[in-house]
Amino acid sequence: MDDSDSNSAPNTPNSSQHVVVIGTGFFGNSITSYIRRVAPEYTVTQTSRSLTPPPEQCVQGADIVFLAVPSHCYPSVSESINSALQPHTILIDVANRPLRLIPFRFRDQDSSAITLHKLVPQNVHVVKAFNTVSANYLTELNEQDELPGNENLPFAANDQHAIQTMKAFCKDLQFNPLYRGTLEQTAPNMEHAPHRFFPLYKTSFIMAGIIWTWWILYSTLSTYVIHGRRGTPSRPWDKYPLSMFMATTGETSMTLFATVFLAGPVATALKRFGRRFPNYLINWLNRRKQIGLVAFLFASAHGIAGAISSSHIDDGWKGQFYFVLGILSYLMFAVLAVYSSGQSGSKLTWAEFRGVFSWVGTLALMLGVVHQGFWGAILLKHRPNPSYWVANGAIMPISWLGIIFPIFVLVVRGITWLPCFREKNSYKSMPVDTREVEAISV
């Protein structure tokens, strides 16, 4: 090939594109089947050292090459195919770091993409991509009757031609391409991303842990320490584990749910007065789904503990209402959890979205407050009025203290429903999904 050919720009993916997948493992088989099913206009060849023809023959004239082999095999594979690769070939590195290598052990090591970039000719473009897509996921897509939606697919590349080619290739495969930067900048983080443990839920679990710890300490202090000094604890110690678990998981779930529904009114108030959203509010709004699902986890734990320890069922009509309202509130929050996970929420119309995440959510929070209020009323049979404890230097019981914040949130939401707050305002300063913000705050 002459110099003019070697310096020419590669074509964008079309019917003449030839894709080669080197590797016959789980991922190699899955990506091969997926490309053949979703983009039949591509010519796809799968090869390995044990197949005929070998990789060095298959990559001749290939436009895109997948290296679906372990990264420790890159030196031997590159040595065999380097002379056969044509200029401007896209070489896709799909490898991730081994799970046993925790971050501080490979902080100073090159990523597999950078290592591969050093092993191949300079006119071959290495791209880091598809490492965040699992073989199991591709297999599930291959078994579905309908074509998949546009899932985000991050990639990294150094060459502009490679970037444009990958964007077109990803769109042909029904993915939404997200260019993250050069290999040196983003490849190490991309290789570590699949090993992160629920990164979107990290803040939510930390918040839940702090709130749960607070309620455990507060309930232990009010139930066993203060009342224990005045005579006997309000509950016997042999019932501490289950009763404490039931009480504190319920309070934690109510506090988290109230936190979710407070973000909308705050955003509505700032929008009403023409203020831009601060960064903490943007993060708060973007984490509502995760916080809500963690709250639903605590509500489920509370319900299981309540079903095991059903002593309140014997407290007459108050105990009956306590359980009925708790069940109704839990079922409504279950609806929110279902439509907050997966793609269920995206299939709702605007009216359905607003009804589920605004009206059903608010009603569920209200029923939860009344449910907790009946619990406090049941406890009044065995304890003095809460004002007695406050007046005598003690602290308010958990059943009444935990109800204050949710009631405050309901009042604030009611204020934002007033006509002065429901006026249509400009969304030019709203850096988040308009539909989600309005659905929570209306």
| Tens-place pLDDT, residues 181-221 | 999 888 888 887 766 667 778 889 999 999 999 999 988 87
Give the pLDDT score at 103.
Answer: 47
Give the pLDDT score at 240.
Answer: 78
Question: Is 52 or 69 the better-scoring residue by pLDDT?
Answer: 69
User: What share of the chain in percent tops pLDDT 70?
Assistant: 76
Nearest to 285 by CA among 156, 166, 430: 430
Q: What mean pLDDT is predicted for residues 52-66?
A: 92
- Whether residues 188 and 233 fall in one domain: no
Q: What mean pLDDT is predicted for residues 116-138?
A: 91
- Whether residues 288 and 393 fall in one domain: yes
Given a cut of 70, whether residue 101 has pLDDT beyond it is no
Do 419 and 411 touch, CB atoms closer than 8 A? no
Q: What mean pLDDT is predicted for residues 338-359?
A: 75
Give the pLDDT score at 251.
Answer: 93
Q: What mean pLDDT is predicted for residues 324-331?
A: 91
Give the pLDDT score at 438.
Answer: 37
Given a cut of 60, whether residue 68 has pLDDT beyond it is yes
Q: What mean pLDDT is predicted for residues 283-291?
A: 89
Which of 195, 213, 234 is where one domain is finished? 195
Nearest to 223 by CA among 404, 394, 405: 394
| Cα distances (Å, whole numbers) of residue 371 to 98, 226, 307, 319, 402 | 49, 26, 15, 10, 12
- Whether residues 124 and 226 fall in one domain: no
- Whether residues 35 and 87 fall in one domain: yes
Give the pLDDT score at 10.
Answer: 44
Give the pLDDT score at 185.
Answer: 87
- Whether residues 47 and 182 fall in one domain: yes
Given a cut of 80, whether residue 241 has pLDDT beyond it is yes
Q: What mean pLDDT is predicted for residues 271-289?
A: 85
3-state secondary structure of 397: coil
- Whether residues 272 and 367 fall in one domain: yes
Q: What mean pLDDT is predicted for residues 53-66?
A: 92
Given a cut of 50, whether residue 5 has pLDDT beyond it is no
In the structure, what pLDDT confidence band is assigned to residue 355 with cuts at 50, 70 and 90?
Answer: confident
Given a cut of 60, whether residue 306 has pLDDT beyond it is yes
Give the mean pLDDT of the chain. 80
Burial class (CB in 10 A: 0-12, 13-18, 19+), 385: exposed
- Whether residues 47 and 101 fall in one domain: yes
Give the pLDDT score at 441.
Answer: 38
Which of 168, 195, 222 is where one domain is finished? 195
In the block, residue with structure tokens 């309070």? 251
Do 402 and 254 touch, CB atoms closer than 8 A? yes
- Whether residues 303 and 389 fall in one domain: yes
Given a cut of 80, whether residue 409 has pLDDT beyond it is yes
- Domain CATH number, residue 375: 1.20.120
According to DSSP, the β-strands at 151-157 and 125-129 are antiparallel
User: Structural domain tally of the chain?
Assistant: 2
In the structure, what pLDDT confidence band is assigned to residue 383 with cuts at 50, 70 and 90?
Answer: low
Given a cut of 90, whether residue 168 has pLDDT beyond it is yes
Nearest to 135 by CA among 205, 224, 30, 47: 30
Give the pLDDT score at 317.
Answer: 77
- Domain CATH number, residue 158: 3.40.50.720
- Whether residues 186 and 211 fall in one domain: no
Question: Residue 143's CB: how many other CB atoms inside 10 A?
Answer: 9
Given a cut of 90, whether residue 418 has pLDDT beyond it is no
Q: What mean pLDDT is predicted for residues 155-177?
A: 92
Give the pLDDT score at 315.
Answer: 64
CA dihedral 314, 318, 324, 330 (to 10 degrees): -100
- Whether residues 263 and 359 fall in one domain: yes
- Whether residues 24 and 158 fall in one domain: yes
Give the pLDDT score at 66.
Answer: 96
In the structure, what pLDDT confidence band is assigned to residue 244 with cuts at 50, 70 and 90?
Answer: confident
- Whether residues 244 and 328 fall in one domain: yes
Which of 143, 171, 195 is where one domain is finished? 195
Query: What is the span of the domain harbouring residue 188?
Result: 3-195
Question: Is 70 or 110 the better-scoring residue by pLDDT?
Answer: 70
- Could you give the angle at which helices 404-416 and 361-379 cross, rounded to 10 degrees? 150
β-pair partners for 43: 18
In the structure, what pLDDT confidence band is assigned to residue 9 with cuts at 50, 70 and 90?
Answer: very low
In the structure, what pLDDT confidence band is assigned to residue 433 with cuts at 50, 70 and 90?
Answer: very low
